[in-house]
Structure 1
């Protein structure tokens, strides 16, 4: 006799047959996963990990889980900057990739998730000096995303990683990572990358991918500020973070960071003072360092307390030498020579020389004791207090500056302030003097002056002069910030062409 299913089981089987296919997919970005993802981007990592662990127990084959676990590790390392944690957590990468790779090839999340994990580790490895491994991970991510775009052209999130890769690689100076990726035929385009990320940030709120908005804005702000050094970084970041909840500590970080970098110092201080706090948030010592920078940039000596708080709570490898340098400057400005020397000794003997700021701190120490007037003018300029910086410079006579470095910096500072105040003829005159005086110095003043002259000439549509200045900046070697200045000059030449 032919066997038959009971009617209730038959009905259930037919019901399942006509359900949307996404409910069967092992890549299930369900409500729990979306909740965990949102908490990660508020930097509430402990709560996010609890939800991820619960999802893993109830749905062990859901391959969104290893992606979320990697997100949590990525932001933990971003906040802690800990080498020990990095060594411990990076061992999880391959197992996560294996689970994802073996899953549903018909889901757009399969290749996307593999690309994301590789990109996240590439960004973290760069912080710890693993440039070759980072290059290999960028290569893999690029391959996955290109393939995913062909298979799933309507999957908008592909543009996030591809935009980031294009922008970063398009602005890379010559070096190990660029040469490694060039070997595989991978080259970026800054303009293309920025356009992709801007379109995504603009379009996501009205799409089904709206939950990924904060992540896109995070990377877009990073690229504008640190990669392309865009003049629009502050305006763009402020516009896009406005719709992110104030309960997000990541929002506070993004906004304060961009404000501090782009001369909106008072807003940076206000943002950091109002940041959300509590045990639910991931510890983020860097924010104390950033507050110290912002306070000192208005010559507020209470900055010392913030640098000391950072040094006490920090378990990472970055900004230690730079913090002691700033503490030394505070003592110098306050007239305490002994305190200055004690902190300078710590710059030399404590911390690591991996991050660019810490490398520069060592170079600053090697250059000798700074001129106090020029130091004040520099700090005020960095904070966006251009008129106050000019007042300090007005009290300094060029003929009294006997050191070539000091005289070069004096004209550079005059040029920079004039530039920001819209006095471009005065800026060009002083920049040219800085270029003339500072050729061959390890200080960045001459190269940065040439770069800034090029930008003014480009704005004036004086393209031959602009091209000459950008090439002058590129041809200056062996100075501070050589990579970033050269990268910016090359990018400017490309945009002009």
Structure 2
């Protein structure tokens, strides 16, 4: 299942479930197949069937009398999969209820079966996520009786990742992803763990995706593309269109616009879901614009508003860009893309082509200083980075641009790593204070995680 060879997994499970339809461990595995298919392929035509399958498994498990540790764990896992499946397809209220039930089940399992290691995996993840909820929402957690803790969650997840158990590799993968989310540790620690998993399991497509994701997030574009080109392929694997969308971004960062266009067109051809469609059209618009194909750029720009849904931050950003309808400043755009890919020297060269004046619109001036801060931060010139981040905050003022909150977040990380906790705390709190910007969810989560650690 973790290799994303789910059809092969289903074949193995079929004989076991025919022999023992109530086998809790086999039911968990069967649920992975449906859950992973929904997550990876996002096919709305398969949603009702695959969701019903999960609900039926949960009914079987919960009907067991004299339940043991595996029965209780299976109930929590299937409930968790159900919640995530519903959330992915927009059923938020029902998903929230299932998340609550799953968390309560995991917590109860921990009391009833304290030595059952697999239970610590998702219990830890949920504790971390609940512990990172921004302060303004904790009242809701109190009402529904849930309490998170980043510290306890990391302890549980670490035990699951370091103790031999059937779900150890999955726990190791989740541990790497959570480490990146926390960002208190050096980002290389999370990347090293994910890439090590991928290299140790060359036939595991999920591990290659995770490694590619973290390498992209940490601006190591060439290494991320290496993972993409060396991923396992074959008919036995689930078709994974999102990998092509990620690769398209990486080629866009590099400045290979033709290949970026090809990869996003392949994504649109294979993808059956509604997420990331606006983002893909936006990236195609950027690639054609920078490739100097203005008619194609305009055509894709005009389709963004009418295509897909705006639930992911990428899609929301694309909508915001269309609504703002500001004329792009090409050197600034190239600098942003080069910096996002980790090509910092090229990004500085791009910015040298700009003439910054007070006549330029506020978003352009704010982004100019923010990009310079990110570039010098990437080059580890922290004094320059600090100066430009502070300039970003000053120039942005009370606007709803995301540059100031992100600059505050980055200043928090710089001072945290410099062992100046008071300054770090002040900037993390400042990052939380900004309202209405397009990346509020992710910035608030990261700032809250950092504050909880402090």
Normalising to structure 2: TM-score of the pair?
A: 0.93
Structure of greater relative contact order (alpha carbons < 8 Å, 6+ residues apart): 2
The answer to whether structure 1 residue 238 and structure 2 residue 192 are counterparts is yes
1:91 pairs, out of 28, 52, 63, with 52
Gaps of 5+ in 2: none
* Residue segments in structure 1 that go unaligned for 5+ positions in a row: 1-39
Q: In the alignment, what sits opposite 1:201? A: 161
Would you say 1:456 and 2:414 are equivalent positions?
yes
Residue 166, structure 1, aligned to residue 114, structure 2: no
Deviations 1:93-115 (A, max 9, x none): 33211211222535211110000
TM-score, structure 1 as length reference: 0.85
The Cα shift of 1:385 comes to 1.6
Q: Where does residue 151 of structure 2 map in the other structure?
A: 191
The 10-residue stretch of structure 1 (163-172 or 459-468) with the greater mean CA deviation from structure 2? 459-468
CA contact (8 A) 1:221 1:233 kept: no
User: Within 5 Å, which residues of 2 pair with 1:387-398?
Assistant: 387-398=345-356
Q: Retained in 1: the 8 A contact 2:35–2:50?
A: no
Count, aligned residues: 450
TM-superposed deviation, 1:222: 3.2
Q: Distance in 2 between matches of 1:485 and 1:78?
A: 24
Does 1:133 find its partner at 2:91?
no
Which residue is 1:480 aligned to? 438
Q: 1:193-231 CA deviation, whole Å, 9 max, x = no partner?
A: 223223321233xxxx1x322221232233234x43555
SS of structure 1 residue aligned to 2:272: coil
- 1:471 is aligned to 2:438: no
Structure 2 residue 360 is the aligned partner of structure 1 residue 402: yes
Is 1:275 the counterpart of 2:231? The answer is: yes
Offset from partner CA, 1:153-203 (integer Å, 9 cap, x none): 211111101111011112233687x65433122121223322322332123
Show the counterpart of 2:214: 258
**For 1:328 and 1:257, how far apart are their aligned partners in 2?**
23
Q: Residues 174, 319 of structure 1: CA spacing in aligned structure 2 closer, same or farther, 3 A cutoff?
A: farther
2:98 is the counterpart of 1:142: no
Distance 1:86 1:218, change over 3 A: farther
- Cα deviation for residue 299 of structure 1 reads 1.1
Structure 2: distance between partners of 1:292 and 1:474? 32
Distance 2:139 2:14 in 1: 41
Tell me the secondary structure at the aligned position of residue 357 of structure 2: helix
In the TM superposition, what are the counterparts of 1:293-372 in structure 2 within 5 Å?
Answer: 293-301=249-257, 302-367=259-324, 368-372=326-330
- 1:24-43 → structure 2 map (5 Å cutoff): 40-43=1-4
Give the aligned CA root-mean-square deviation in angstroms.
Answer: 2.1
CA distance in 1, matches of 2:97, 2:183: 25
Give secondary structure in 2 for the equivalent of 1:415. Answer: helix
Deviations 1:70-110 (A, max 9, x none): 11111001111223322332122332112112225352111
Map of 2:384 onto structure 1? 426
Matched, 1:181 2:137: no
Question: 1:284 deviation in Å?
Answer: 0.7
Question: Hey, what does 2:71 align to over in structure 1?
Answer: 110
Larger Rg: 1
